[in-house]
Structure 1
Amino acid sequence: MNAHPLVHLIWLLPLAALVIYVGSPRMTGTIALARVRRLLRSALDPRKFTVLDDLDLPAGGGTMHADVVVVSRCGIFVIDTMHRSGKISGTRVQARWAERRWWRTLRFDNPVHANALRIEALAGLLNLPISRFHGYVAVSGPARLQDSLPDNLVTVPQLLARIRSENRMLLEADEADRALRVLMDSALERPWNPRRRWYWARLALLVLFLTAAGLTYHEEITGLAAKLQHQADWRMAPENYHPDGSAKSDIERWEDRLVCSYSADTGRCACYEPAGGRAEISPERCRELAERGSVLKR
């Protein structure tokens, strides 16, 4: 039974919502943060570096957000993340940078300035001089960075090399431990974690999309599943199928188990069950089974 043509439009609604969400700044920012977090936690030695991410910390009379903070004796690395796909241009002193993407130009705040403000706030919170901090802005995505950009704006692969290149000991062991303790103790609890909220939003969109696609293409999906199951059964028990892949009937499978003997001298033919009992079968069919060579022939 064919579905109404309008049913085929149902899956377009969640698909459009999913595409819009994936391309939204919130989602691309989440992707950038997740990529940096995964890279640093898998590649940095946990005995020397402690990676904290997605922190809300007190700053002055309000709060500040830090994407990633890495604490080590080589200093405290304050890393902002962003996802960009165009050609980025700007200088350290410019308040606004530009991203040229296809036919349009997008303007956004200088991320290096924001990173410097974050370092100042963290220096006050931890009671450490700014010289003990390293600030980086990690860019994920297919962005192209102009040479005029500050050197602490790096791609995600470059970030790891930059951190590892900082090998001067800037903090004593007790200073690094105290900084880590203050950061963990000062992190503000969120009544509702935004990342969890957007996780459920993505899950709901995905479930809605799969449900709509399933209703729209039910017959096609059922047919494909049956075909795959048939191929799996054929591979597992080829004796139950003809060479062309069609399934044998119950009678054909029973006849395959018979042992038939035909004597050309006497014209007599007999078929026997695997257990030894004689099978009731016509002489003509008995001879066919014996002659086809799949059973005994005498």
Structure 2
Amino acid sequence: MSIVDLSGYGCKYSKDISVDLIGVLISAAFQVWYIFPVIILTFIIRTPWFKGVFGEFQVNLILKKLPSNEYYLIKNVTLPTKEGTTQIDHIIVSQFGVFIVETKNMKGWIFGSANQKLWTQKIFKYSSKFQNPIHQNYKHLKTLEAQLNISIDALFSVVVFIGESEFKTEMPENVTHASGCLSYIRSHSAELLNQQQVLDVIKNIESGRLARGFSTNQAHKAHVKVIIKQKTTDKLCTKCGSDMVLREAKKGQNAGSKFWGCSNFPKCRVVEKFN
């Protein structure tokens, strides 16, 4: 019986399988190439950055419904401050005043009041805190007051929520959903600035704003991180989000001892031990 050497054939057979496998993989990759952009796009859509940009885009479309011959819209304004920078989503300049618009793209139930430092967002059983947008926009208002040299009575703060959110506490009239901001802006019909003052305000804002670009955005983000870090060191009520105040017991067996009490007392009676 003769023995046939198949080693050469085996090697060739192995190479053929490898080549075929690579070809199949390449072919499969071409057939499902569209999945990868979809995955990347899905990731981007879920980022806070995209939600913020998309929210500002939606508000921009809403604000463009205001008559352009009466209201001048300025978008995405970054202004220098003593502490760093402050960034304003939209500024509307008119003879009826200057409206500073802060946008929040959020969903779920929203709890908050004008005097609370932190508001609450609740989605099913999940709750999270976020900075009171009224306080946040007040800084914008004061920055513009200093730069524009006009009466604060001609400056108005507007907070607009975009997205599937629902207010669960009574909100001030300047905190609205979507196009509700138009009604608030139009409700101011008294002439507070003459035409020359309007032009001066527009020129002042445009000339005083920082150049739009990557470096400006990065500098502002760094400043915001510092602010957030400072705020998270404050002691806040675990129930309503108001400031906790250090108090001293006046009577009883704990007289003279210190404790943390909610500043929203007597509406909120949360107390904590002082260590």
TM-score, reference length from structure 1: 0.60
Counterpart of 2:102 in 1: which secondary structure? strand
For residues 163 and 120 of structure 1, what CA distance do their matches in structure 2 show? 19
Q: Deviations over 1:69-104 (max 9, x none)?
A: 000010000001110111000111111111111231
Match of 1:65 among 87, 107, 116: 87
1:22 aligns to 2:21 (yes or no):
no
Alignment of 1:132-211 (within 5 A): 132-192=154-214
1:285 corresponds in structure 2 to: none
Counterpart of 1:163 in 2: which secondary structure? helix
Q: Deviations over 1:99-155 (max 9, x none)?
A: 111231121111110011110111001011211111111111111012323332111
Residues 194 and 181 of structure 1: is their aligned pair in 2 closer, same or farther, counting only changes over 3 Å?
A: closer
Count of aligned residue pairs for this structure pair: 194
Task: Please tell me whether the aligned partners of residues 82 and 137 of structure 1 are also in contact (alpha carbons under 8 angstroms).
Answer: yes
Q: Deviations over 1:181-229 (max 9, x none)?
A: 101111211343889xxxxxxxxxxxxxxxxxxxxxxxxxxxxxxxxxx
Task: Please tell me whether the aligned partners of residues 173 and 184 of structure 2 are also in contact (alpha carbons under 8 angstroms).
Answer: no
1:39 aligns to 2:85 (yes or no):
no
Query: Which one has a larger percent strand, Structure 1 or Structure 2?
Result: 2
Q: CA shift at 1:21, angstroms? A: 1.2
Q: CA shift at 1:164, angstroms? A: 1.3
Alignment of 1:1-298 (within 5 A): 4=25, 7=29, 11-41=34-64, 43-60=65-82, 62-192=84-214
Task: Please tell me whether the aligned partners of residues 86 and 99 of structure 1 are also in contact (alpha carbons under 8 angstroms).
Answer: yes
For residues 3 and 106 of structure 1, what CA distance do their matches in structure 2 show? 48
Counterpart of 2:119 in 1: which secondary structure? strand
2:254 corresponds in structure 1 to: none
Gaps of 5+ in 2: 1-19, 218-275
For residues 140 and 108 of structure 1, what CA distance do their matches in structure 2 show? 15
Counterpart of 1:159 in 2: which secondary structure? helix
Task: Please tell me whether the aligned partners of residues 96 and 108 of structure 1 are also in contact (alpha carbons under 8 angstroms).
Answer: yes
2:11 corresponds in structure 1 to: none
Task: Please tell me whether the aligned partners of residues 89 and 149 of structure 1 are also in contact (alpha carbons under 8 angstroms).
Answer: no
For residues 186 and 174 of structure 2, what CA distance do their matches in structure 1 show? 14
For residues 60 and 174 of structure 1, what CA distance do their matches in structure 2 show? 29
CA RMSD of aligned residues (A): 2.4
For residues 213 and 75 of structure 2, what CA distance do their matches in structure 1 show? 18
Gaps of 5+ in 1: 196-298
Question: Given residue 100 of structure 2, which amino acid in structure 1 is its aligned partner?
Answer: V
Task: Please tell me whether the aligned partners of residues 139 and 156 of structure 1 are also in contact (alpha carbons under 8 angstroms).
Answer: yes
Counterpart of 1:160 in 2: which secondary structure? helix
Task: Please tell me whether the aligned partners of residues 174 and 181 of structure 2 are also in contact (alpha carbons under 8 angstroms).
Answer: no
For residues 116 and 179 of structure 1, what CA distance do their matches in structure 2 show? 18
Task: Please tell me whether the aligned partners of residues 102 and 160 of structure 2 are also in contact (alpha carbons under 8 angstroms).
Answer: yes
Query: Which one has a larger percent helix, Structure 1 or Structure 2?
Result: 1
Task: Please tell me whether the aligned partners of residues 132 and 170 of structure 1 are also in contact (alpha carbons under 8 angstroms).
Answer: yes
